């Protein structure tokens, strides 16, 4: 981990200290995604198949989520595994069912002029679930369950196949818990292209989706960005690329736990980034030492070690400055491991998810606490939140006006329209006065 004294840095130095890994924005990624998109747009399903064979080693497949396929998936998992997935799904379901937005009360701004906001589900959602080196079935739960709670009618889930070209049994069970009818085994930028343009494949058709959701590596994140930039292209949830964790720790923090949390995110991806911020040199030294002690025993140590090349350990004056540094970075995950963590929450303005105190492991939020773990990365937390049921919905204002309300408000609207030079607008208001 790179050690940094925050107080010694100027503005440029601080910007560099909090920079994301450059690999996330390499031109080869953007160029590669553009080539895949151009090919899929030109050749449709044939291009998706070719890219899938080249990159994943398997052609796209549709897995029907039926009683038989779910039973077969359960048979391949231990009862303890099945219970854990079921419990996590139940917690996620409860949280999102209880946080579905509701229509506002009717608000009368002028006598006879009444308005409200109403919520409606989007028509279709494309759900990208990372598979690659680790089948993240938890992400399928975190996307499909809130989409179901929101009332989205068409939900298309895609995920890379396992090395043998199959679906991991936990992924099949997660699809069932999420209320899905099927699961497509397609990964990478070609999967995003399929959801964007719509394609016909050997196992069926994928129609274009209105909005794309889900985390992924740099290629998937770039594919979502390019999809959203297309004329008439789909909306996207947020930048949700390689994982990030920032930990604020003081001398009261347990170095073993902080190190374990940092490594839990570093093992995700070589492009993941972990940052430690502390007001104590002794705490930093103890935590860094513990990271080095725990690292060699990890099965994914090589990945974690690559991610640690972009890690930072930042020394600040006090915990108030630590919070300011965190807000500048806008982490996907923020862990507060200090003597009085609750006191810091009010100072946090930008984070995808905040984990308060020694017991609130980020891993609990990753799997089973309830809120979705699909969160903004790359500083997106400064303006965006994570996935909620509202992410799968839109609002409309509904306005109702009586004759008396029109008589009161139309002259005001007509005058303002003429002030802007929009005579047709003004006449449309005048007609309401005369009715």
Which position has the higher pLDDT, 256 or 162?
256
| Residue 400: strand pairing partners | 114
Residues 6+ apart with CB under 8 A from 342: 356, 357
Q: Choose the CATH number for 44-111+121-236 among 3.40.50.1980, 3.80.10.10, 3.30.413.10, 3.40.50.620.
A: 3.40.50.1980
Residues 81-103 as b or e (16 or more Cβ within 10 Å = b): ebeebeebbebbbebbeeebeee
Q: What pLDDT, on a 0 to 100 scale, did the predictor assign at position 46?
A: 98
Question: Is the pLDDT at 117 greater than 90, yes or no?
Answer: yes
Q: What pLDDT, on a 0 to 100 scale, did the predictor assign at position 39?
A: 98
332 is catalytic: yes
Residues 6+ apart with CB under 8 A from 258: 247, 249, 276, 287, 290, 335, 337
Q: What single-letter DSSP state applies at residue 288?
A: H
Other beta carbons less than 10 A from residue 358's beta carbon: 16
User: Cα 140–145–146 angle (5° rounding)?
Assistant: 115
SS3 311: coil
H/E run at residue 86: helix 79-97
Q: What would the mean pLDDT of 142-160 be, rounded to a whole number? A: 97
Q: What is the pLDDT of residues 292-327, one digit of tens each?
A: 999 999 999 999 999 999 999 999 999 999 999 999
H/E run at residue 245: strand 244-249
Say yes or no: do domains 2-21+241-385 and 44-111+121-236 share a fold.
yes
Contact (CB, 8 A) for 261 and 361: yes
CATH 2.115.10.20 is right for the domain spanning 2-21+241-385: no
Q: Which residue has the tokens 């739960």?
A: 141
d(CA 353, CA 370): 12
pLDDT over 70 percentage in the chain: 99
Average per-residue pLDDT for the chain: 95
Q: What is the pLDDT of residues 325-347, one digit of tens each?
A: 999 999 999 999 999 999 999 99
**Helix 169-177 and helix 67-75, axial crossing angle in degrees, nearest 10:** 130
Write down the domain spans for the chain.
Answer: 2-21+241-385, 44-111+121-236, 402-434
Q: Is the CA virtual torsion 263, 215, 190, 186 positive or negative?
A: positive
Contact (CB, 8 A) for 140 and 73: no
Question: Is the pLDDT at 164 greater than 90, yes or no?
Answer: no
Question: Is the pLDDT at 132 greater than 80, yes or no?
Answer: no
Task: Identify the CA nearest to 144 among candidates 182, 103, 106.
Answer: 182
Task: Identify the CA nearest to 377 among candidates 2, 17, 21, 128.
Answer: 21
Task: Identify the CA nearest to 358 among candidates 223, 261, 224, 274.
Answer: 261
425 is catalytic: no
Q: Is the CA virtual torsion 20, 22, 23, 29 positive or negative?
A: positive
Q: Which of 332, 342, 362, 373 is catalytic?
A: 332
Q: What is the pLDDT of residues 8-28, one digit of tens each?
A: 999 999 999 999 987 656 789
Phi, psi of 115 (to 5 degrees): -135, 160
Contact (CB, 8 A) for 259 and 290: yes
According to DSSP, the β-strands at 107-110 and 113-121 are antiparallel
Q: Which residue has the tokens 């010694």?
A: 8
Q: Which of 96, 268, 333, 373 is catalytic?
A: 333
Structure tokens at 341: 């963590």
Q: What is the pLDDT of residues 216-259, one digit of tens each?
A: 888 998 999 999 999 999 999 998 888 999 999 999 999 999 99
Question: Is the pLDDT at 63 greater than 80, yes or no?
Answer: yes
Task: Identify the CA nearest to 146 among candidates 392, 341, 412.
Answer: 392
């Amino acid at each position: 981990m790179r050690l940094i004294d925050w107080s010694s840095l100027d503005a440029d130095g601080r910007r560099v200290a909090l920079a994301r890994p450059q690999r996330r924005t390499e031109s080869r990624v953007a160029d590669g995604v553009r080539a895949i998109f151009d090919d899929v747009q030109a050749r449709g399903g044939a291009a998706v198949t070719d890219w899938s064979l080249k990159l994943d080693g398997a052609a796209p497949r549709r897995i029907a989520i039926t009683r038989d396929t779910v039973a077969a998936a359960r048979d391949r998992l231990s009862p303890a595994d099945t219970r854990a997935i079921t419990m996590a799904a139940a917690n996620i379901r409860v949280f999102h069912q209880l946080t579905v937005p509701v229509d506002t009360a009717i608000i009368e701004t002028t006598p006879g002029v009444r308005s409200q906001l109403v919520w409606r589900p989007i028509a279709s959602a494309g759900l990208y679930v990372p598979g690659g080196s680790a089948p993240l079935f938890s992400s399928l739960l975190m996307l499909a369950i809130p989409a179901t709670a929101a009332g989205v009618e068409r939900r298309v889930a895609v995920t890379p196949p396992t090395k043998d070209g199959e679906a991991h049994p936990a992924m099949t069970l997660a699809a069932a818990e999420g209320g899905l009818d099927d699961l497509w085994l397609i990964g990478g930028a070609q999967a995003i292209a399929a959801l964007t343009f719509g394609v016909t494949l050997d196992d069926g058709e994928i129609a274009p989706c209105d909005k794309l959701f889900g985390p992924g590596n740099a290629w998937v994140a770039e594919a979502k960005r390019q999809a959203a930039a297309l004329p008439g292209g789909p909306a996207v949830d947020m930048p949700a690329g390689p994982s990030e964790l920032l930990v604020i720790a003081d001398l009261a923090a347990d170095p073993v736990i902080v190190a374990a949390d940092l490594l839990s995110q570093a093992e995700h991806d070589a492009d993941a980034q972990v940052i430690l911020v502390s007001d104590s040199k002794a705490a930093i030294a103890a935590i860094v030492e513990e990271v080095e002690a725990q690292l060699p025993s990890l099965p994914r140590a090589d990945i974690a070690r690559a991610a640690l090349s972009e890690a930072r350990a930042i020394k600040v004056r006090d915990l108030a400055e630590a919070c300011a540094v965190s807000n500048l970075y806008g982490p996907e995950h923020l862990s507060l491991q200090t003597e009085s963590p609750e006191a810091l929450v009010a100072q946090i303005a930008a984070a995808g998810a905040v984990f308060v105190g020694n017991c609130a492991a980020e891993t609990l939020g990753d799997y089973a606490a309830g809120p979705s773990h699909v969160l903004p990365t790359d500083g997106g937390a400064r303006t965006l939140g994570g996935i909620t049921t509202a992410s799968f919905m839109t609002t409309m204002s509904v306005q109702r006006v009586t004759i008396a309300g029109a008589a009161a408000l139309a002259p005001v609207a007509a005058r303002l329209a003429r002030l802007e030079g929009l005579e047709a607008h003004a006449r449309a208001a005048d007609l309401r006065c005369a009715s």
